[in-house]
Chains A and B, each alone.
Chain A
Amino acid sequence: MTASSISQITAQGGIKIVLVIAILILLSVVTKTQGARTQALRRITTFVFALFAIAGIIFPQAISSIASFLGVGRGSDLLLYLLVVAFFAALVVQWRHNVATEQKITQLARFVALLEAREQTTTNQTGLEQPETVDPGAADATA
């Protein structure tokens, strides 16, 4: 009796624990690692995700029994929960990717700006003391 009621309690809380741990692990993996490792882990995750999806499609009963083992009512509910986690993880990965891309664009734009400035400075050695003589024609090129 006692053993079964304990398993009932853990079964009810099971899905919450699984989801929270999944989010934490994904977050730490995605934020702590960089470069090739992240990419490899992301591909493995995607691969595993695909395998489960295929298994779920072929054996729908399996998802239902996993769901009831974790204390989720139906297999489709479990799928929804997993989808929420996957969606959140994808958002975070995309965010990190955008930040990294933005840094690259920034460096590129800065390089272009400094290159242009250097060309102006070398055409006029005293340009720093008398900025008004820095080639004003360059700006008119597009006007």
Chain B
Amino acid sequence: MNQSPPGNHEVALVIPIFNEGPVIGEVIRDAAKTFSTIICVDDGSSDHSAKTAREAGAIVLRHPVNLGQGAALQTGFDYIKNYTSIPYLATYDADGQHCTQDVSAMYILAKEKNLAVVFGSRFLNDKTQIPKIKRLILKTAAFFTAKSTGMKLTDAHNGLRLLRRDALDHINLSQNRMAHASQIVSQVAASNLAWAESPVEIKYTEYSKAKGQSLLNSVNIVTDLLIGKP
């Protein structure tokens, strides 16, 4: 037990995947060095992502049709609530832009300070090279998130978050697509759960840049948030 990395058996990674065939195996094998439970939610991929993930050692849940990242995360949350007793989970991107050390640090922080939610922020250290326009949009999103929820986050739409099991009782993502990131923040704000931010590094690889969101998608996110509510 002394040898195992922090959070080894206490944190499950929830990784939404949609056609991540080229990288998903590598990402899971790397994460499995630190975390024993990795849950992939295959969001209706048309490639071999699900099979690759399973072979790499992940538990794979499969959406029969593509719904979006928010829907995939909620499916992962439901699985953890109903079929496991694991005390923490971290939402983790499939494209290899996150680091397991950051998750461990978030876990230690949550344990020490008795936090239910830890948000990753790429603005709390200077490890991440962020393109200027992207920085501007993220900062604007963070500003409006702070204004509307009262939560002063330095980053918005960072895929890396740590949630304690009881936080799942307060989170129910109905935003199927990327607007879920704002929805998590507003639901945490409404819940009075203890939360903090923790510095994380985002590795913008060629793959993650190609797969990542277009800046124009911020228009879709705002529209979904304003009039897409069910």
Tell me, yes or no, whether B63 is within 8 Å of chain A by CB.
yes
Chain A at the B interface: SS class: helix
Nearest CB in chain B: distance from A128 CB, A: 6
- B207 contacts partner chain A, Cβ-Cβ < 8 Å: no
Please tell me if the beta carbons of B230 and A109 are within 8 angstroms of each other in the complex. Answer: no
Could you tell me the distance in whole angstroms from the C-beta of B41 to the nearest C-beta in chain A?
7
For the complex, what is the distance from the CA of A78 to the CA of B100, rounded to whole Å? 64
- Among residues of A, the one whose C-beta sits closest to the C-beta of B76 is A113
Which B residues are in CB contact (< 8 Å) with A139? 50-51, 54, 60
Closest to A133 in B: B57
Surface stretch bound by B, among A11-19, A60-68, A81-89, A116-124: A116-124
**CB contact list, B188-230 vs A, under 8 A:** 227-230
Complex Cα distance A138/B50, Å? 10
On chain A, the residues within 8 Å of B48 by CB distance are 143
Decide if B75 touches A113 in the complex (CB within 8 Å): yes
- B176–A102 touching, CB < 8 Å: yes
**A116 B67 Cβ-Cβ under 8 A:** no
Q: Count B interface residues, CB 8 Å.
A: 36
A10 beta carbon closer than 8 Å to chain B:
no
- A99-B228, A131-B36 known; A113 and B83 CB under 8 Å? no
Q: A residues within 8 Å of B by Cβ?
A: 95, 99-100, 102-103, 105-106, 109-110, 112-114, 116-118, 120-121, 127-132, 134, 136, 138-140, 143
Known: A100-B230, A109-B65, A112-B62. 13 other contacts (CB 8 A): A103-B230, A109-B63, A109-B64, A113-B62, A113-B64, A113-B75, A114-B78, A114-B79, A117-B83, A128-B84, A129-B9, A132-B57, A134-B54
